[in-house]
Amino acid sequence: MTAAELGIPVRLRETAARPFAVQANCPSRWLHPHQYDWPLAWYSDPEFPRPEEDYLPLHWRADYSASVAAQWQTQYDDFLQRGYDFQAWYNSPPLPETSPEQLEAACDRDLATGNRFYFGAYLLCRGFPSEKVSIGKYSGFKFWANDPFTNFASLAKYCVRKKVLISGAGDGGLQDLLRFAFARTHPIELVGNVIKVLNRTQNGLEALATCCSEIIESVLAPRIVGGSDPCRTFVESLNEGVLSDVFDQFEEIVTFDFGSNRLQLICASIQFPSNFALNRLLVRFLEKFVSVRYPQHPPLVSFGVSIKRVRGVLKHMCANRANDCYGQLHRCEIGGKTTTFDLLVVRHGFGREKRKLEKATGRRTKPPKRAS
């Protein structure tokens, strides 16, 4: 859109039937433009872009994904009415996985007319490879699916001995752990409650400042080395009085009944991967909260363990369909033991598909021959 506004002819090739289809079909995932910039000063600003980036074409405000997509759609529709040399080709066939030369031949065609259209550059914005949400024939909901997790978290308070297992400790897994625990209280509100408590004590603010400095210093190399986690160190450094005040705040907003139900996250690695600091901080607080206030609850987070096998219970047979598996009992083999869970969430990252197109530079080695 920016290129078109600058007078450059633009063609958008999209395999979906509409723009913003992924976000528009997901009313359950909360989006905030800056929350993962924490601990930088503007992390709580719900508006995008920030004032110094006002030239960007699509502005939006924190909301659920489908509502954000609606904000974008309104601006996009207005953009289309301005008469720019811009066309969007929806329902386009996928580009072939081929060489850069063959890619040029496939791309240099106006899909609307079939005529040759010589592009000066290609931008390949195809997103991530396929998401790994299955174990054997068991299939969970994808990250951008319209999942029922928030409703489950609210209803679980009135259920008896419900067990929820999340496999995978990337940001998707940590997000879902927080969603089960707090339902519709979002990360910005959660960290805000923590900071309110810390404002009452000088030592707490000093410890948080040290934690933030260590996090910012590790931005270029975010993987935790040797098991050192600034967020965990910070939580463990707080005295019992401060932690008690934070936990009292949590008790007022938590929706998952840790006294009767079970919520666990497991990870095959021995430490968190390269997560956003805000997710790590909140999960570390939640982990401490559960261990102190609900000592009979099993460890909230366990590392170095993974699911070897998943099987349906009674008459349920897994058939790679998330909607069919949801709400059914499943036996999970973990560390040589078998445990039955009411709900299993799989967040195992993305597949490593070979994409030849990623090697294409989008630049021509030779200019096309044109008729004089």
Model confidence pLDDT, tens digit, residues 294-342: 999 999 999 999 999 999 998 899 999 999 998 789 999 998 899 999 9
Q: Which residue in 127, 16, 26, 17 sits closest to 67, CA to CA?
A: 26
Model confidence pLDDT, tens digit, residues 283-302: 999 999 999 999 999 999 99
pLDDT at 43: 93
Are the C-beta atoms of 38 and 278 separated by less than 8 Å? yes
pLDDT at 367: 42
Q: How far is CA 324 from the centre of its chain?
A: 23
Give 256: exposed, middle or buried? Use CB within 10 Å, 0-12, 13-18, 19+: buried
pLDDT at 12: 92
pLDDT at 357: 53
Residue 315 φ/ψ, nearest 5 degrees: -90, -5
pLDDT at 184: 84
Q: How far is CA 251 from CA 126, 184, 190, 254, 295, in A?
A: 42, 14, 12, 6, 15
pLDDT at 368: 43
Q: Which residues of the chain have pLDDT under 70?
A: 153-161, 216-228, 352-372
pLDDT at 361: 44
pLDDT at 371: 41
Q: How many CB atoms lie within 10 A of CB 266?
A: 21
pLDDT at 333: 96
Residue 303 φ/ψ, nearest 5 degrees: -105, 160
pTM: 0.88
Q: Which residue in 67, 64, 61 sits closest to 47, CA to CA?
A: 61
